[in-house]
């Protein structure tokens, strides 16, 4: 048994763990990084990267098949295996950035084994016992597979296996109508599969209802069957012939099954109780600075029990670097965190939705809105469906919702504004190049000021008075 002493020991080589490791070692700290599975974690291997690559393949197939602007479409049966080749090639291209070799080159000691705490100050990984001044739990999460009767005996996929499937499903049934389910539904539909989505409540039910309706309408128009209120009660069948039953007596038959009903945080097997680290089913119990009940131990990303996004894990890494390396106070925020559903059209959100803002701020809320129907670039490209709306309180945005082309890119200006407490005047004063989709943000900011300028009797009286004296 070898013993290692280090400044920082990180458990998990996903986005959060890798960000902490790279930042800490390059600023002079001794770092040990432990990973039992794949470097890069869920995002690189099973999540963000492969899903966006598959969506891109589906988008290309869809664009080729659709006629527009006088150009005839060329409907073909997409090469499903080639699409999966693109997925793997994308992972392979990015993988070296997250690789063991790169991090060892930076000076990080990488141990490929399972980790568990054996005391307040020690972790064991294989034949190594690591003593550290600070520990970071960055173990991420995995797909949650609900205890549906019969599911354990029926072949089914999660996001950890669906990208390995090389033969096109004839009819893919997806349990779960959240962002992952909707993205995979559109990707597979555009690659030639029949797709049915079963959602126990409402598809995209956590998003702004008006924005979600536009996305769901577009997906249904492409032939995706989306069934709300379909609480699954049983699953049966064999590969190629699967039946899903709901508690209201309906049944749905398909060839393949994807379970996409949420995520489960990876804390089992860490023996957190031996380190006096509090946790529950949501993850590690942390304070506003992401520190656990053991002051030596931090948690980031999904393991911290909050928003489950790769960019949140990276943000958390930046938060904990300050106290760990410099002894400076730092707190994590959530009000400025954006998220995106990468369907076509995209749906992006940062801060409060309109419903949340009305509940919190009441009559103080002003909703500024601009529609893509009035955006010249969107009209020119045939993408003039959707809108941007910004929730404003006392001149500052507290939330923004965008549904439409490149919503994930367009939301970033509102994430910047909320993070830095900018006023709407900062966005209104921006000069956006014409014609661009980004003009919609300036137009939304202008919509906040328009009533104050154009509907004000006082402004009109002042203008008339000034004109008499000029």
Residue ranges of domains in the chain, CATH in brackets: 2-39+99-143+264-326 (3.50.50.60), 151-262 (3.50.50.60), 338-454 (3.30.390.30)
140 annotated as a binding-site residue? yes
Give the pLDDT of residue 67.
Answer: 74
From CA 421, how far away is CA 403, in angstroms rounded? 23
Rounded to 10°, the helix 179-190/48-65 angle is 40
150 is in an annotated binding site: no
Q: Is residue 183 part of an annotated ligand binding site?
A: yes
- Quote the pLDDT of residue 63: 86
Q: What is the pLDDT of residue 68?
A: 78
| pLDDT tops 80 at residue 155 | yes
* Statement: residue 178 has pLDDT above 80: yes
CA 20-273-285 angle, to 5 degrees, is 55
On whether 354 is known to bind a ligand per the annotation, the reply is no
State pLDDT tens for residues 7-43.
999 999 999 999 999 999 999 999 999 999 999 999 9
Would you place residue 85 in the very low, low, confident or very high pLDDT band (cuts 50, 70, 90)?
A: very high
- The reply to whether 84 sits in an annotated binding site is no
pLDDT band at 459 (very low <50, low <70, confident <90, very high): low
User: What is the longest distance spanned by two Cα atoms in the chain?
Assistant: 91
| pLDDT, position 234 | 97
Residue 378: band (very low, low, confident or very high) from pLDDT cuts 50, 70, 90? very high
**178: annotated binding-site residue?**
yes
Q: Alpha helices of 72-229 — where are they, by DSSP H?
A: 80-94, 100-106, 179-190, 209-221
Question: Is the pLDDT at 163 greater than 70, yes or no?
Answer: yes
Q: Is 176 annotated as a binding residue?
A: yes
pLDDT band at 70 (very low <50, low <70, confident <90, very high): confident
| pLDDT band at residue 72 using 50, 70 and 90 as cut-offs | confident
The answer to whether the annotation marks 179 as part of a ligand binding site is yes
Give 186's DSSP letter.
Answer: H
pTM of the model: 0.94
- Entry field: residues in the chain: 470
**199 appears as a binding residue in the annotation:** yes
On whether 141 is known to bind a ligand per the annotation, the reply is yes
- pLDDT on residue 453: 62
Cα–Cα separations (whole angstroms), residue 180 to 139, 260, 392: 20, 6, 30
Confidence class for position 395, pLDDT limits 50, 70, 90: very high
- Cis omega (within 30 of 0) on the bond before 345? yes
Residue 161: is its pLDDT beyond 90? yes
Question: pLDDT digit string (tens) for 202-259?
Answer: 999 999 999 999 999 999 999 999 999 999 999 999 989 999 999 999 999 999 999 9
pLDDT averaged over every residue in the chain: 95
Min mean pLDDT across 348-357, 390-399, 404-413, 457-466 is at 457-466
Strands 396-404, 387-393: pairing is: antiparallel
Q: Look at residues 343, 60, 49, 345 and name the one whose alpha carbon lies nearest to residue 192.
A: 60
């Amino acid at each position: 048994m070898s013993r290692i002493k280090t400044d920082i020991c990180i458990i998990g080589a996903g986005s959060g763990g890798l960000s902490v490791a790279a930042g800490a070692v390059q600023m002079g700290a001794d770092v040990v990084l432990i990973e039992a599975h794949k470097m890069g974690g869920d995002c690189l291997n099973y999540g963000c990267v492969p899903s966006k690559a598959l969506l891109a393949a589906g988008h290309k197939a869809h664009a080729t098949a659709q006629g527009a602007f006088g150009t005839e479409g060329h409907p073909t049966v997409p090469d499903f295996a080639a699409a999966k080749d693109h997925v793997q090639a994308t992972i392979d291209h990015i993988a070296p950035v997250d690789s063991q070799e790169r991090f060892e080159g930076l000076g990080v000691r990488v141990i490929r084994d399972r980790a568990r705490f054996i005391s307040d100050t020690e972790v064991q990984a294989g034949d190594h016992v690591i003593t550290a001044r600070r520990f970071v739990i960055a173990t991420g999460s995995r797909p949650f597979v609900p205890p549906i009767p019969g599911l354990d005996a029926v072949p089914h996929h999660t996001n950890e296996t669906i990208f390995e499937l090389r033969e096109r499903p004839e009819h893919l049934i997806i349990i779960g109508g959240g962002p992952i389910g909707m993205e995979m539904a559109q990707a597979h539909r555009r690659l030639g599969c029949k797709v049915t989505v079963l959602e126990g409540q409402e598809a995209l039910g956590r998003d702004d209802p008006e924005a979600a309706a536009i996305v769901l309408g577009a997906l249904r128009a492409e032939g995706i069957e989306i069934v709300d209120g379909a609480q699954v009660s049983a699953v049966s069948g064999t590969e190629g012939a699967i039946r899903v039953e709901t508690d209201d007596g309906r049944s749905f038959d398909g060839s393949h099954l994807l379970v996409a009903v949420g995520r489960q945080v990876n804390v089992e097997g860490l023996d957190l109780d031996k380190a006096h680290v509090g946790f529950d089913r949501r993850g590690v119990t942390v304070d506003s600075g992401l520190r656990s009940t053991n002051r030596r131990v931090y948690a980031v990303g999904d393991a911290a029990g909050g928003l489950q996004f790769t960019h949140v894990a990276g943000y958390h890494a930046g938060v904990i670097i300050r106290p760990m390396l410099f002894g400076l106070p730092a707190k994590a925020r959530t009000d400025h965190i954006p998220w995106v559903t990468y369907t076509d059209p995209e749906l992006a959100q940062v801060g409060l939705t309109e419903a949340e803002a009305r509940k919190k701020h009441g009559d103080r809320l002003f909703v500024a809105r601009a529609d893509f129907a009035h955006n010249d670039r969107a009209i020119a490209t045939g993408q003039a469906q959707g809108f941007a709306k910004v929730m404003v309180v006392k001149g500052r945005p507290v939330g923004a919702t965008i549904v439409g082309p490149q919503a994930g890119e367009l939301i970033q200006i509102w994430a910047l504004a909320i993070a830095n407490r900018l006023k709407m005047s900062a966005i209104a004063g921006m000069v956006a190049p014409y014609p661009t989709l980004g003009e919609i943000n300036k137009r939304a900011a202008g919509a906040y000021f328009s009533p104050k300028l154009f509907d004000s009797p006082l402004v009109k009286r002042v203008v008339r008075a000034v004109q008499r004296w000029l």
